[in-house]
Each structure stands twice: as structure tokens, then as C-alpha cells.
Copies of this chain bind each other. A is one copy, B any other.
Amino acid sequence: MQENPYAVVAKPGDRVADLATPRPIIDEDRLAANIARTQAYMDKHRLNFRPHIKTHKIPALAAEQIAAGAKGINCQKISEAEVFAAAGFDDILITFNIVGPQKLEALGALNDRISALKVVADSTVTTDGLSSYFASRKPLTVLVECDTGGGRCGVQTPEAARSLAKRINDAPGLSFGGLLNYPKPGAADAVQAFLSEALLLLETDGIACPIVSNGGTPSLFEAHLVGAATEHRAGTYIYNDRSMVRAGHCSEADCAMHVLATVVSRPTADRAVIDAGSKALTSDLLGFTDFGTVVGYPEAVITGLSEEHGVIDLAKCGDRRPEIGEKIRIIPNHTCVVSNLFDTMVFHRNGVVTRVEDVTARGLVW
């Protein structure tokens, strides 16, 4: 690959206002406060905390999360786990059904490398595939993924969770690690009901369940309502974003990531065009009908994105409107996907660059 000519984008001491755009920037103080506030909540409720690194994909930030008290990390794919294992992390949970020969081989190498690798499964097809691969190797720890209402992966009933747990417990090469779910926000009661019933069934069978892992940032501060859980996983809380503000998890002042953009056109009185499109902000709507909050221009609406342009409707703004050449800051709908688009992330305190980190696990495929 050709070296990215824009990989070195800033150095400590540079002013954020002077950066070329588009460019996501991270406020150090908000970042630190987000880490501290969440860890304090988990500590208060004696829940183990496992940050999801998909949000930042930066080993140095995971190290800050661990230093604050997190128990281990959560990755969403093997390649992310490889990057973090190489950076020295040992307790890694990959919340994905691993299927297919290349992925099994990569998973085997990773399991040999670190001591506390864990994956999830929600079907006997997945567990049988894992068992045939790991039967002749160092055993792999597998949690049963439960669908407690999130509507993605997961067994559908506590009875099905029990049945798959038994299968894992009996399978050569596998060790049953516990239960896991990814809930709908605000559904703590349903989660608790599902998980506690599954735990009872496992107890009846005499199967130990070391981990019960609940997840999600939107419902993070309801984690204590799920008494069955031993740990909580969350990613977005470290940066926060517009969807987290809407969910009531935080305020705009807690959003550590802004995307810096420049107004490059003002074709009409009511229209501004910026140099941040879907390749900077992404097209993730997450239920919104527009593509981010413009800081300082609350009436401005980012109505459309093409790849390198963002179109902003200023019709509801007063007389003060962004002019060509002006830099604006946008709180993105979804920070995790923005991280995936940039090779480097710029951090600042009060507008002065503090550090530039490689987004080491960016753009990896599986």
C-alpha cells in the first residue's frame, strides 16, 4: 500500500483551528471524564466493566480504560482482537459467531497467544465448528449469546440457552464461559427475567456460569437493574455522540468527538456546503433524519451527504450564518463508524493538540 500522504496531520502544540479538514478531534478532558464517570458507576455497583474498543480502535485508549479499572476488553472481530493482543491485552471477548476455516485458524492462533480469549455462539452449527477445530488444541472459552429483545443474534429462550450451554460444556475443545446479551435500551426487566431464568436452569444442571455479560451504552446507567449480570460492556460512552445525547445518556457537553469541517460553498442564502460528506461523517442515521449537530448553529440542519460534500440547510438560522472558509464542528450521529474512516485521531485540550494516535484497528476486514 502507498503511504497515506496525510497520515501525519498534526503535532502536539498545534492549534486545532489550523487543522486541514475534514478531521475528527477528541477533547481530552471530556474523554477522561467519560471514562471516569462510567468506571465510577460500575465500581459503585460492583459490576465488572468491559469496554468495547470498536468505538476508538486505539490501544492507548484501551489502556486508559483498563487503568481506570476495566476488567478486560470487548472486540467485534478477530482482526481487532489481534491488534489489541499485539498491544499486550490479554482478556479479550469477541462478541461474534466465528464461522469459516480462515477465521477458525486465526482464532486458534489468537487463543494460543493470550490467556483469556473468549467468543460467543448462538447455534450448534457454530459450536460444532469451534469444537472440531479446537478439539486438538488449547481449549476455547465460549459464551452463549442470548437474544433478550435486541433482535440481532442470540438464542431465543432461556431453555435454548441452557441447551447450548450443555452442548458447549460437553464439547471437546470448548469450555463454557457464561451468558451474554446485547439488549434493546430501556429493557432491563426483560433482560433480568431472561438471564435469571437461564441461570436457574444452568444451576439445575450443575453447570457453572462464570460470566453473565450485559451490554450497551444507551442503557449503561441502567446496568445495575440487571442483577443477574456480572459484567457490562459498552463502547460509545468513551466519546459519546448525538445518538447518546438523544438517549439521555449524556449531554452535548459530554461529546468528546467533534468532526471539524470547512464551509466551501454558500450557493444560496439558505444553503451551506461543507467538506465533510459520507466519507467523514458516514451515512449512519440511527433513527435521525439528518447527519449531525452543528455546534454553535443549533438551527442548522445537515440534510444530505454525498461522498465529500455535506449540504446544510440554514433556513431556520438567524442572521449569523457560517461563511465560506469558516470552520465548523459537528457532533456526529455515531462516533464508532467515524473512527473507522480515519487512519489517525487528533486529541486536544482547549483547542491545542495534545497527541495524535494511530487508529490501529481501523479498516480491518474480519
Q: Are A154 and B308 in contact (CB under 8 A)?
A: no
Question: How many identical subunits does the complex contain?
Answer: 2
Chain A positions 37-61 with a Cβ under 8 Å from a chain B Cβ:
54
Which stretch (A77-85, A204-212, A223-231) binds chain B?
A77-85
Chain A positions 84-113 with a Cβ under 8 Å from a chain B Cβ:
86, 96-97, 99-100, 102-103
The answer to whether A325 and B22 touch (CB under 8 A), given A5-B364, A76-B307, is no
Distance, CA A274 to CA B366, complexed state (A): 12
Q: Are B267 and A278 in contact (CB under 8 A)?
A: no
Name the contact of A97 in the complex, choosing from B152, B264, B337 (C-beta under 8 A): B264
For residue A153, which residues in chain B have a CB less than 8 angstroms away from its CB? 264-265, 267, 273, 309
Q: Could you mark each residue 1-43 of chain A with 1 if its beta carbon is under 8 Å from any beta carbon of chain B, else 0? A: 1101111010000000000111100000000000000000000
Q: Are A365 and B337 in contact (CB under 8 A)?
A: no
Distance, CA A282 to CA B342, complexed state (A): 15
Q: Is A363 an interface residue (CB 8 A)?
A: yes
For residue A123, which residues in chain B have a CB less than 8 angstroms away from its CB? 265-266, 324
- With both beta carbons as reference points, the residue of chain B lying nearest to A326 in the complex is identified as B99
Q: Could you mark each residue 245-287 of chain A with 1 if its beta carbon is under 8 Å from any beta carbon of chain B, else 0? A: 0000000000000000011111110010101001110111100
Distance, CA A313 to CA B304, complexed state (A): 28
For residue A197, which residues in chain B have a CB less than 8 angstroms away from its CB? none
Q: Is A340 an interface residue (CB 8 A)?
A: yes
Name the contact of A282 in the complex, choosing from B83, B129, B278 (C-beta under 8 A): B278
